[in-house]
C-alpha cells in the first residue's frame, strides 16, 4: 500500500507516493548532477518571518520562573536556599537574551540593499562570522563560525546584515544542518542572487561535555544554490577562500 510522504518540518503532505520514491540502489551517481536535481526547499514562512507572533499564547514570566524552580528541585537542589533565590529570574532573563532570534525578522534584515556596485560581477564572501546557538535536542550550546557568500545581481546588502542574519537563526533552538539551510534560503529568497554558498563549522557541547565527551570535535555543514551548486569551480573557489592559510 502506498504511503503519503510527509515533510520533516511542517507543511502539507506531498502527493508523492512511496512507490514513486527511488530506493538507494536505484539512484545513480549521476542523478545529483542532472538539471532536474534540486535540494529540498524550505517553507518561506519558516525562515523569513519572526518565529513568535504578537498574539501567540505563551506562558507568563511567573510560570517560566516556576518551571526553573521545578528543574532545580528535580536535580536535587533546594530552590529556596540563599544562593538560588534569584536564580529563576536570572535564568528567564538569560533565555530572553539567548533566544531573542524568535522575535526578530530575517527578511527585514536583508531588505535594504545598495545598487552602487560599479558592475561588480564576482561573489561576495563574509568569512569567520562567530556565533553561539543552542541544540534543539539537549538545549546545550554549540558554537563556531559561519561563512557566507553570494553572487549579486545588480544590488548588494550591507556586510553587517549577513552577520545579523546568522545571529537571528543562531538565537533559536537549532540543528546545525537546519541553520545552514535557513541562512542560505533567506539570502537566496530575499536577495535573489545568482547563487549562495554557506558553510558552518561548529563544536557541539552535547557531544564534547556529555555523551561521548569528545572535546574539540568539529562538525561541518554546507549549502549551495545557483552557480555555487551548478559550477564545481565556483564551489572549489569558495572553499579555497574559506580555508585560506591566513586565518
pLDDT value at position 192?
A: 93
CA distances (Å), 131 to each of 37, 121, 195, 241, 242, in order? Answer: 31, 29, 23, 20, 16
pLDDT value at position 37?
A: 52
Q: Which domains does the chain have, with CATH numbers?
A: 111-242 (3.30.1130.10)
Question: For residues 48-84, b (16+ Cβ closer than 10 Å) or e, as one string?
Answer: bebbeeeeeeeeeeeebbeebbeebeeeeeeeeeeee
Cell triple for 2? 502506498
User: Is the pLDDT reported for residue 245 higher than 80?
Assistant: no
Q: What is the CA radius of gyration of the chain?
A: 21
Classify 52 in phi/psi space as left (phi over 0), alpha (psi -120 to 50) or beta: beta
User: Is the pLDDT reported for residue 8 higher than 80?
Assistant: no
Burial label for 244, CB within 10 Å (0-12, 13-18, 19+), is exposed
User: Is the pLDDT reported for residue 238 higher than 50?
Assistant: yes
pLDDT value at position 50?
A: 85
Strands 173-174 and 124-135: parallel
pLDDT value at position 12?
A: 43
CA distances (Å), 35 to each of 5, 164, 225, in order? Answer: 23, 33, 13
Compute the average pLDDT of residues 68-73.
98
**Is pLDDT larger for residue 214 or for residue 152?**
152
pLDDT value at position 117?
A: 78
**Is pLDDT larger for residue 247 or for residue 195?**
195
Cα 119 to chain centroid, rounded: 31
User: Is the pLDDT reported for residue 47 higher than 50?
Assistant: yes
pLDDT value at position 220?
A: 97
Most confident of the ranges 2-16, 115-129, 133-147: 133-147
pTM beyond 0.85: the answer is: no
User: Is the pLDDT reported for residue 46 higher than 80?
Assistant: no
Please provide the DSSP assignment of 149-208 as one string. Answer: EEE-BSBEE-HHHHHHHHHHHHTSEE-HHHHHHHHHHHHHHHH--SEEEEEEEEEEHHHH
pLDDT value at position 153?
A: 92
pLDDT value at position 25?
A: 47
Amino acid at each position: 500500500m502506498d504511503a503519503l510522504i510527509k515533510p520533516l518540518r511542517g507543511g502539507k503532505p506531498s502527493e508523492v507516493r512511496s512507490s514513486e520514491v527511488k530506493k538507494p540502489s536505484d539512484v545513480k551517481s549521476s542523478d545529483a548532477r542532472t538539471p532536474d536535481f534540486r535540494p529540498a526547499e524550505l517553507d518561506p514562512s519558516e525562515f523569513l518571518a519572526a518565529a513568535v507572533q504578537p498574539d501567540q499564547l505563551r506562558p507568563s514570566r511567573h510560570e517560566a520562573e516556576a518551571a526553573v524552580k521545578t528543574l532545580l528541585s528535580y536535580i536535587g537542589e533546594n530552590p529556596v536556599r540563599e544562593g538560588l533565590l534569584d536564580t529563576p529570574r536570572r535564568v528567564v532573563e538569560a533565555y530572553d537574551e539567548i533566544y531573542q532570534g524568535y522575535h526578530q525578522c530575517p527578511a527585514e534584515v536583508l531588505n535594504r540593499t545598495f545598487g552602487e556596485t560599479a558592475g561588480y560581477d564576482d561573489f561576495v564572501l563574509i568569512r569567520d562570522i562567530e556565533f553561539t546557538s543552542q541544540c534543539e535536542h539537549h538545549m546545550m550550546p554549540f558554537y563556531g563560525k559561519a561563512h557566507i557568500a553570494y553572487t549579486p545581481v545588480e544590488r548588494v546588502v550591507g556586510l553587517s546584515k549577513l552577520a545579523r542574519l546568522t545571529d537571528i537563526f543562531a538565537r533559536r533552538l537549532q540543528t546545525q544542518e537546519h541553520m545552514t539551510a535557513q541562512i542560505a534560503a533567506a539570502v537566496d529568497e530575499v536577495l535573489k542572487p545568482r547563487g549562495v554558498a554557506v558553510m558552518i563549522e561548529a563544536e557541539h557541547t552535547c557531544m564534547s561535555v556529555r555523551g561521548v565527551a569528545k572535546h574539540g570535535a568539529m562538525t561541518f555543514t554546507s549549502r549551495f544554490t545557483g552557480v555555487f551548486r551548478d559550477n564545481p569551480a565556483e564551489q572549489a573557489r569558495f572553499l579555497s577562500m574559506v580555508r585560506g592559510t591566513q586565518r
